């Protein structure tokens, strides 16, 4: 099925990385046109709606070099309203009223209580589509760290946690491990997207807090309390997804170089050949310890003027 996907605009590199992961999981997914604002994609709606940076997704029902080509398009029964979207720059622009006129919309327009919403979008040409999915920002914001029963001031936004889960090339039913789970933000997004989850943290306080948060969101999972070098996982793990420590050394984690070296040794031990590890690092030089892994993708995202963090996808050799 052909869909118009509108992006929320955070990072073009992040969108590209997310779409690359989707295509690796589902070879049937084809990107027919893309820019920083949106894309025309042949794929499955359920898969696309899991994208962290997809703001709105519409099913394409017609396309034409000009809107006159929409004349006679068969629309569903009921009331609707139409919105125009410009992803590219059309040679001839049209008002929403002009497009609605071509569709013979008189008597069917309702802004208060529509049965469906139409999008007339210009990308490489004009597309007419029916909205099928809108990202629920309010629901996502309700999962931010301060809204959970247990929280830490330093916590990944749910949108970026979801992004990392998608980069892991896992599907529903697979098991994701976060060996530095903190308050459980990544585990929450993984669990809500149908993955099985396992967490670990060297801090017992964080472990108890993460367990409380998973329970709050009705997610079942195991949370271990272990230093990374001592971690023993009995379950089969399909991917590792984690926001690795990046601040100053502490008695809990030790110095960062030793921690990263021990971490990659443990990651290599846990994962099977070809499986993925998705991590955030503050200092890319620490990736020199990733022996036995190939770097597949790196997306740099600025947190603020003095801090840029790298989202890194690694594949085990």
Q: Per residue in 58-116, pLDDT tens? A: 999 999 999 999 999 999 999 999 999 999 999 999 999 999 999 999 899 999 999 99
For the beta carbon of residue 53, count every other beta carbon within 10 angstroms: 23
1 burial via Cβ count (<10 Å: 0-12, 13-18, 19+): exposed
> Residue 296: which of 277, 283, 309, 282 has the closest Cα?
277
User: Who contacts 279 (Cβ-Cβ below 8 Å, separation ≥6)?
Assistant: 240, 241, 242, 243, 244, 311, 312, 314
Q: Give the separation between CA 45 and CA 126, rounded to whole angstroms.
A: 21
The two three-digit tokens of residue 80, written as one number: 């609707």
The two three-digit tokens of residue 133, written as one number: 């999915």
Query: What integer pLDDT is reported at residue 249 of this predicted model?
Result: 47
> Are residues 243 and 181 in contact, defined by beta-carbon separation less than 8 angstroms?
no
The two three-digit tokens of residue 130, written as one number: 């029916």
Query: What integer pLDDT is reported at residue 104 of this predicted model?
Result: 92
Structure confidence by residue, pLDDT tens digits, 43-57: 999 999 999 999 999
Instruction: Report percent pLDDT > 70 for the chain.
Output: 97
Is 143's pLDDT higher than 90? yes
Where do we find the tokens 């590199």? 13
Phi, psi angles (nearest 5°) of residue 142: -70, -10
H-helix or E-strand containing 63?
strand 54-64
| Most confident among 8-12, 72-76, 163-167 (mean pLDDT) | 163-167
Q: Which class is 2-134 in CATH? A: alpha beta
Mean pLDDT over 178-197 rounds to 97
For the beta carbon of residue 58, count every other beta carbon within 10 angstroms: 26
Query: What integer pLDDT is reported at residue 302 of this predicted model?
Result: 83
Q: Give the separation between CA 48 and CA 46, rounded to whole angstroms.
A: 6
Measured at the alpha carbon of residue 139, what is the angle toward residues 220 and 221, in degrees to the nearest 5? 10
Structure confidence by residue, pLDDT tens digits, 122-131: 999 999 999 9
pTM for the structure as a whole: 0.93
Ordered by start, the domain boundaries in the chain are: 2-134, 139-316
Query: What integer pLDDT is reported at residue 153 of this predicted model?
Result: 78
Structure confidence by residue, pLDDT tens digits, 259-303: 999 999 999 999 999 999 999 998 899 999 999 999 999 999 887
Higher pLDDT, 9 or 248: 9
Tell me the three state secondary structure of residue 23.
Answer: helix
Query: What integer pLDDT is reported at residue 252 of this predicted model?
Result: 56
298 burial via Cβ count (<10 Å: 0-12, 13-18, 19+): middle
| Interstrand relation of 126-134 and 116-122 (parallel, antiparallel or unpaired) | antiparallel
Pick left, alpha or beta for residue 9 (phi over 0 → left; psi -120 to 50 → alpha; otherwise beta). left
H-helix or E-strand containing 205?
helix 204-216
Greatest pairwise CA separation for the chain in angstroms: 70
Query: What integer pLDDT is reported at residue 247 of this predicted model?
Result: 60
| Interstrand relation of 307-316 and 2-7 (parallel, antiparallel or unpaired) | unpaired
> Are residues 177 and 156 in contact, defined by beta-carbon separation less than 8 angstroms?
no
Query: What integer pLDDT is reported at residue 253 of this predicted model?
Result: 61
Structure confidence by residue, pLDDT tens digits, 229-264: 999 999 999 999 999 987 654 555 668 899 999 999
Query: Can you name the CATH fold of 139-316?
Result: Rossmann fold (3.40.50)
Measured at the alpha carbon of residue 287, what is the angle toward residues 282 and 291, in degrees to the nearest 5? 155
Q: Give the separation between CA 128 and CA 99, rounded to whole angstroms.
A: 10
């Amino acid at each position: 099925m052909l869909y118009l996907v509108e992006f929320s605009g955070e990072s073009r590199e992040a969108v590209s990385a997310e779409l690359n992961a989707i295509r690796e999981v589902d070879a049937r997914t084809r990107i027919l046109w893309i820019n920083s604002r949106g894309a025309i994609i042949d794929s499955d709606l359920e898969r696309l709606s899991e994208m962290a940076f997809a703001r709105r997704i519409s099913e394409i029902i017609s396309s034409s070099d000009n809107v006159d080509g929409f004349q006679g398009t068969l629309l569903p029964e009921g009331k609707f309203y139409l919105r125009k979207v410009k992803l590219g720059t059309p040679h001839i622009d049209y008002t929403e009223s002009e497009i609605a006129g071509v569709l013979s919309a008189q008597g069917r327009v309702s802004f208060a209580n529509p049965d469906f919403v139409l999008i007339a979008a210009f990308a490489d040409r004009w597309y007419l589509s029916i909205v099928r999915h809108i990202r629920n920002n309010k629901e996502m914001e309700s999962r931010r760290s301060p809204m959970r029963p247990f929280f830490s001031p330093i916590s990944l936004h749910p949108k970026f946690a979801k992004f990392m889960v998608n980069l892991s090339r896992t599907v529903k039913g697979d098991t994701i491990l976060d060996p530095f789970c903190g308050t459980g933000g990544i585990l929450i997004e993984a669990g809500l997207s149908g993955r099985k989850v396992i967490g670990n943290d060297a801090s017992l306080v964080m472990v108890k807090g993460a367990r409380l948060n998973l329970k709050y969101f009705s997610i079942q999972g195991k949370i271990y309390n272990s230093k990374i070098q001592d971690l023993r996982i009995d379950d089969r793990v399909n991917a590792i997804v984690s926001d690795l420590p990046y601040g100053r050394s502490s008695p809990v984690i030790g110095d960062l170089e030793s921690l990263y070296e021990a971490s990659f040794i443990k990651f290599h031990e846990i994962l099977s050949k070809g499986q993925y590890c998705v991590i955030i690092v503050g200092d890319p030089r620490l990736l020199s310890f990733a022996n036995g892994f190939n770097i597949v993708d790196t997306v740099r995202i600025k947190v603020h003027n003095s801090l840029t963090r790298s989202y890194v996808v690694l594949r085990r050799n």
